[in-house]
Structure 1
C-alpha cells in the first residue's frame, strides 16, 4: 500500500492514529517500568484487567469502550495494589507476586467470560476483542478516548517528572529527601495502569505487555539520558503503531495488533544490533579492534625484548622467529610498520625502529599495557 493511502483511507487513518497514540503513550511510560526492572508489570496489569472488563459489562450491560476501559483500569489498579501489598507484607518477591496476581486475575476473568458467553446477549458483548485485540475495528471515538486518556497519563508523568525520575533510580534517596515514596509509587503505577488499559482493545491482553516493554528496551540502547529515552521510546511506539497498521492493511487476513508487535520486535532487534554505544555489532567491532591492538602491542614488546637481548635495537629477526613467539604476527608486523615502530629489512627480516623503542620506553620498558 502506498503512503498516500495513509491519509486518504479513512479506516486506515483512524487505525494508524489510534495505534500511534497508543504506542507513544505506552512506550514513553513503559520507560519507567523498564528502568525500575518491572517489565513484568505490564503483563500483570493487562491480564489483571480482564475481570474488570467482564464485570463492567455484567454490571452496566454496556459495551461502550470507555465503560470497559474504566472497568479494566479499576481491576488493573487493584491488582497492582495487591502486588504491592503482598511484597510489603510477606517474604514473597515482586516477580512471584506479579505471577500470582497475573494468573489469579486472568483465570477469574476467563471464568467471567465463559459465563457471559452463555448469556442470550453474548453475541453482542464483543469482549473477545479485549483478549486478542482488534485494532482494525477502532472508531474515531476510540481514537479520541485513547488520545485523551493517554494525554492525561503523559501529563501526570510530566507534572511529576522529577519525582518519578528520582523514584526510578534511587527511592531510598527520595525518601531521605522527605518524599512520600509509597504515594509516588502508587501514582506512577496508576499512570502505567492507565497507559496499558487504553491499548487492550488495540492489541489485546496477551500482547499489551510488548507495547510497554519493547519501545523502552529499544530506546535504552540508543541513549543513557532518561529524558531522551522517554522521547525515543514514545517515537518508537508511534512508528511501530503506524507501520503495523499500514502493513496489515496492505495484506489480507493479517491482524493489526500482532503486526504492530512484530514491527516493535524488528525495531528492538535493529537497536540491539546497531545502536552506537550498546549495539552488538559495534561492540564486536570494538572488541576486535581492542584484541588487534593488544596483539600489536605484544609483537612490539617481542621486538623490543629481542633487541635488548642482542644488545642493539637494529638487530634483525625473521618473521618466523616472531611467529614462534607470537602466532599470526605477520599482520601485526605490517601494522607496526605503518605506525613507524618497526621496519622490514630484506625479504623476511624485521627490526624495531627508534620510534618503536621510544614508544616502548613511554609504556614503561615493555610492560603489558592492556588498556592501550
Structure 2
C-alpha cells in the first residue's frame, strides 16, 4: 500500500492514474480559489443549491442521448444538461426571493430539496427502463474516478485551467464586490456583472467536480479550503492562493489514496483531507487558532497580574 501510494504521489503509477491525479489537483486548485470569493460574498448556500440542482439535468441529458441512439455516457453532454438544470434552479431561486417573502436561505432549501428529489426519482426511473448504459450515473452523487476516461480527465483538467485564468482576470472586481458592494459601485464596478461572473465560475467548478467528488461533496471542496485559508490570512489574494493550494494538495493526495486503496472513493477521501487541514488550522493557525488564542489569554492574564502587583 505504501509503495503504491508513493508511486501515485510521484506520478509514477501509470498514465491514467497520473492524469486523474492531475485533473483532481487542478479541480481542487480552481475550486479552492473560487471558494475564497464565494465564502467572502456569503454565497455558500447558493453553491449548495446549484450543486443539487444539477441532478435532474443529468437524467434528462441521458434520456435525450439514448433517444438519439447513443448510450447516454458522453460526459460533456451530461455536464451541459447538469449546467442547464442548475441555471434553471438559480433562476427559480432568484424569482422566489424577489417575488415572495421567503428569505434566501429558505428559498435555497426549497430549491435544493426539490431538485435533488426530482433527480433521484429520475435516475431511479432510468435504472428501471433498461435503456442505454445507465451504470455509473449514481457516481455523480458521490463522485467516481474508477470509470473516468482519458477524455474525461482532460476535460476536467482543461476546465480547471480555464477557471483559474478567468479568476485571475476578474479577481479585482470580484474582491471589491465581495468586500463592499456599495463602494465598488462608486468605483465604477458593475457589481451585478461581478456577482454573475462569480456564480458562473462557481457553477463551472460544480460541473467539473461532479465526476470527481460528486454533487453532494463538491460544496465541501469549494468551502472548506477557503475557510481553512481564512484562518491564516485576512488578505483576499493570499486567502485565494492558500485555498487553491489546499484544494490542489487534497485533490492530488485523495486521488493517490484512492489508487493505493481501490475500495476508497476518491471524493470522500479528498473532502476528508480538506477537513483534516481545517481542523489542524483551527488548532495551529497564528492569531485565530485555538492554541494561539489560549497563549494570548495566558499572556494577558500574566500582564494583568504583574500590573496589579506593581499597583
TM surpasses 0.5: yes
Higher relative contact order (CA 8 A, sep 6+): 2
2:69 corresponding residue in structure 1 = none
CA offset at residue 252 of structure 1? Answer: 4.7
Report the CA distance shift for 1:72/1:209 in structure 2 as closer, same or farther (over 3 A).
same
CA offset at residue 209 of structure 1? Answer: 0.9
Q: Distance in 1 between matches of 2:188 and 2:8?
A: 54
1:294 corresponding residue in structure 2 = 304
Q: Distance in 2 between matches of 1:263 and 1:139?
A: 24
Decide whether the 8 Å contact of 2:73 with 2:133 is kept in 1: no
Larger deviation, residues 183-192 vs 49-58: 183-192
Map 1:270-285; keep pairs closer than 5 Å.
270-285=280-295
Larger deviation, residues 167-176 vs 289-298: 167-176
Q: Distance in 2 between matches of 1:300 and 1:233?
A: 47
Map 1:134-149; keep pairs closer than 5 Å.
134-149=144-159
CA offset at residue 286 of structure 1? Answer: 0.8
Decide whether the 8 Å contact of 2:12 with 2:18 is kept in 1: yes
CA offset at residue 138 of structure 1? Answer: 2.5
Q: Distance in 2 between matches of 1:192 and 1:125?
A: 28
2:129 corresponding residue in structure 1 = 119
**What root-mean-square deviation, in Å, do the aligned CA atoms of Structure 1 and Structure 2 show?**
1.7
Matched, 1:8 2:18: no
Count of residues in Structure 1 that have an aligned counterpart in Structure 2: 301
Q: Distance in 1 between matches of 2:91 and 2:158?
A: 24
Matched, 1:55 2:60: yes
- Equivalent in 191, 194, 200 of residue 201 of structure 2: 191
1:352-371 Cα offsets, whole Å, 9 max, x none, are xxxxxxxxxxxxxxxxxxxx
CA offset at residue 175 of structure 1? Answer: 2.7
Report the CA distance shift for 1:154/1:85 in structure 2 as closer, same or farther (over 3 A).
farther
Decide whether the 8 Å contact of 2:47 with 2:219 is kept in 1: yes
Q: Distance in 1 between matches of 2:144 and 2:190?
A: 40
Map 1:177-188; keep pairs closer than 5 Å.
177-188=187-198
- Structure label with greater radius of gyration: 1
CA offset at residue 5 of structure 1? Answer: 4.1
1:108 corresponding residue in structure 2 = 118
- Equivalent in 26, 37, 42 of residue 37 of structure 1: 42
Map 1:207-286; keep pairs closer than 5 Å.
207-286=217-296
Q: Secondary structure at the match of 1:216?
A: helix
Larger deviation, residues 119-128 vs 275-284: 119-128
Q: Distance in 1 between matches of 2:7 and 2:124?
A: 43
Q: Distance in 2 between matches of 1:252 and 1:23?
A: 21
Matched, 1:132 2:142: yes
CA offset at residue 260 of structure 1? Answer: 0.9
CA offset at residue 231 of structure 1? Answer: 0.8
What TM-score does the superposition give when structure 2 sets the normalisation length?
A: 0.91
Tell me, which stretches of 5 or more residues in structure 1 are unaligned? 302-372
What TM-score does the superposition give when structure 1 sets the normalisation length?
A: 0.77
Q: Secondary structure at the match of 2:136?
A: coil
CA offset at residue 178 of structure 1? Answer: 4.1
CA offset at residue 192 of structure 1? Answer: 0.7
- Equivalent in 72, 85, 96 of residue 75 of structure 1: 85
Q: Distance in 2 between matches of 1:128 and 1:163?
A: 38
Q: Distance in 2 between matches of 1:132 and 1:5?
A: 22
Decide whether the 8 Å contact of 1:26 with 1:211 is kept in 2: yes
Tell me, which stretches of 5 or more residues in structure 2 are unaligned? 67-71
Q: Distance in 2 between matches of 1:221 and 1:153?
A: 24
CA offset at residue 267 of structure 1? Answer: 0.4
Runs of 4+ in 1 over 4 A off after TM superposition: none
Q: Distance in 2 between matches of 1:269 and 1:71?
A: 36
1:313-332 Cα offsets, whole Å, 9 max, x none, are xxxxxxxxxxxxxxxxxxxx
